[in-house]
Amino acid sequence: MATKKKTTKKTTAKKGSTKQVTTRTTGSTASAEGKALVIVESPAKARTISRFLGPLYTVKASMGHVRDLPKSKLGVDVAHDFQPTYTVLKEKQPVVKELKESVQKARELILATDPDREGEAIAWHLIEATQAHDKPVRRIVFHEITEDAIREALAHPRGIDMRLVNAQQARRVLDRLVGYEISPLLWRKVKGGLSAGRVQSVALRLVVDREREIQSFVPQEYWTIDVDLVPEVNGAREPTPFTASLARIRGEKPELPNEETAQAVARELEAARYWVVSVKERQKQRRPAPPFTTSTLQQEAGRKLRFPVSLTMQLAQQLYEGVELGPEGSVGLITYMRTDSTQVAASAQERAREVIAARWGTDFLPERPPVYAKKAKGAQEAHEAIRPTDPARDPESVRPYLTPRQYQLYRLIWERFIASQMAPAVYDTVTVEIAAGPEAGSDAPYLLRASGSVVRFPGFLVVYREGRDEEETDELDQRPLPPLTEGERLRLLAVRPEQHFTQPPPRYTEATLVKTLEELGIGRPSTYAPTIETLKQRRYVVVEDRKLVPTELGTLVTDLLVQHFPDVVDVTFTSRLEEELDEIASGEREWVPVVREFYEPFHRQVEAAERNIERVRIADQPTDEACELCGRPMVIKESRYGRFLSCSGFPECKNKRPLLEKIGVTCPQCGEGELVQRRSKKGRIFYGCSRYPECTFVSWERPTGERCPQCGGLLVVSQRRGQESVHCSSCSYRPAEEAAAVEV
């Protein structure tokens, strides 16, 4: 790190502590009258933090990353220990110029970027970009934007942790090497605009492999038999019908492969007598799920709210950085949303217990605050789980200040956290075995089984119940059974044979793909959302009924990578590489050897692939639509502007039309059509009504489907300085972004 008039002090503390590089001046040059400059990433975060600091602080935003590897070249010196060359991003040059001027006026620089590796790297880049080497520099970290957290962080500053910076540098260099060596190969051999990446390509392979499992799956017919029964009338007790399922035939598991076999058994069951042979009752407890990590938040928001991963992270960022709560001003509502830890601060647990006791009573409190063990590989236990910054701030109290989607996500986070601190649910389960045969008491040929459950104490269930994926079942959903006793006779109501077919594994949703990536140790919390977005933007996958379906292009690219770059798309190899990156962050490994071990065999594979891969062509995809001009089938073609429908009789028939890609938003102008994504002749994306030309609505920015709370205009998402932001298309309202600098 090039410096001017500075010394570098390296401090190695006891085992397990943090090695730091701290920048200090060689003498006291700061003016006592100058302000301390605090730099954060976003304007919303700057606005919120500025509320807690006095007049001796100025808070400014870097607007995210300010330096990166150059776009026009590799930017990594492979021959000299993979030395990266960083440049100030073109769009950030005015921001850096302003920050540099502010640094020179400040008495000291305080870097308050996010508390993860990427945030640490941004802090280091800010020192380099602003040439702050002749100023005192302090690094502070906090996991929630509250006054107590900010004051605590200011009281315990540290230096830049170069282990975290180097872990991030290694990740960036590896990604650049993979992208810049494989992507041009794909451009030459397949088509322009394609890309490959360490995490991206493995995620795509999972989707492609799952699709092939589905396509090769051969369904097998099988039958089940349910029997509706009712206790025989016994005195004044009102008989309650229930259902039992055939469990055994002469001691063996039922094999009912076809209708003929099933109907033969059904006829015997219709003539049989039924009696209870055993009743097993058990009391069970169900503990609440732990508070959210990044991946579990993305999964649950997908299940319960149907939010795509990118939207979940966008909304969580807004809730973390701060929302205007009327007289309270800007308030950070949740803790940092990129985390793989389930730890919770003791103070937050105590506050949650106060809320629970006041609202539901002390019966709903466990004896001691619960402790949740980490499950994710490489979980950073210095982080906290995602939780409300103030558990007493319930969703309804802030609802007037939030957009509908912000409210939905905050409610989900609040309910999950409060539930995680509550007592377990207690419920009874009953399993009844029923014999069926010619006469009661004989060795019955058939055994049926019925199960039921009754919640005795709801515990955390009064607040929250975890969502489930489509194929999952829950015994709490079982209906209660009537009181039954051993030996009790039962009366038959109906025998119901039913045909089934075995099902293939389900396609991935965004939520289940994130779950699988986490379980396999592929990627980290900050990578899930951009990885899935890249797969969609590159048209490697499309979303159909909320499921990820690989396109022919995605399948083709995967096959090429599997054949020529097996390590790049190998799950075990990629997981191990993630562990090595974690070891760099913990100081167990140096980053250059890790990159070298990956790059040398990888580069040999690239050289071999240049000779071995032949040019491939993407076949047109057939459709069920007929050409309205000649009647021949329409096909889906790919162009530089995206996919479109074309007549299969081209060039004899030149009919073609856009392939409408719906974005899930009703047209705000006509209220009948759906908004679709289109491309202009120059390739620029815009959004219009599917009923065009009857409806002429058009927007260059993607509508969210929500209305502005100030003027009723349409809220849209736009790209500004490399970041997505939401704003009103009619007025100046912005729910999550304001001026680039806030001064106290």
CATH class of 294-420: mainly alpha
Please tell me the predicted confidence (pLDDT) of residue 740: 34
**677/348 Cα distance (integer angstroms):** 44
Q: Which amino acid is at 717?
A: V
pLDDT at 639: 65
In degrees and rounded to multiples of 5, residue 232 shows phi and psi of -65, 145
pLDDT in tens, 94-136: 999 999 999 999 999 999 999 988 999 999 999 999 999 889 9
CA 520/CA 301 separation, integer angstroms: 21
CATH 3.40.50.140 in the chain is located at: 6-160
pLDDT on residue 352: 96
Instruction: Write out the residue limits of the CATH 1.10.290.10 domain(s) in the chain.
Output: 294-420
182-217+509-612 maps to which CATH number? 1.10.460.10
Token pair in block for residue 144? 């929630």
pLDDT tens for 603-650 read 999 988 888 887 877 777 788 888 989 999 999 887 655 678 899 988
Closest CA to 34 of 88, 107, 84: 107
The answer to whether residue 336 is catalytic is yes
**Whole-model pTM above 0.85?**
no
For 25, residues 6+ apart whose C-beta sits below 8 A from its C-beta are: 5, 6, 134, 135, 136
Render pLDDT for 327-362 as a digit per residue (tens, 0 to 9): 888 899 999 998 888 999 889 999 999 999 999 999
Q: How far apart are the first and last CA of the chain?
A: 32
CB atoms within 10 A of CB 538: 19
β-sheet with 702-707: strand ranges across: 702-707, 714-720, 723-728
The confidence score (pLDDT) of residue 7 equals: 38
Q: What is the mean pLDDT of the chain?
A: 86
- The length of the chain is 744
What is the CB neighbour count within 10 angstroms for residue 111?
25
Domain spanning 221-287+427-501 has what CATH number?
2.70.20.10
Q: Where in the chain is the domain with CATH 1.10.460.10?
A: 182-217+509-612
Residue limits of CATH 2.70.20.10 in the chain: 221-287+427-501
For 686-742, write each residue's pLDDT tens digit: 888 888 888 888 888 888 888 887 777 788 887 543 345 677 877 767 764 433 333
Q: Does domain 6-160 have CATH number 3.40.50.140?
A: yes
Residue 341 and residue 379 in contact, taking contact as beta carbons nearer than 8 Å: yes
Catalytic residue (choose from 57, 320, 336, 410): 336
Report the range of poorest mean pLDDT among 39-53, 160-174, 469-483, 484-498: 469-483
Tell me the per-residue pLDDT of 221-230, one tens digit each, with 9 for 90 and over: 999 999 999 9
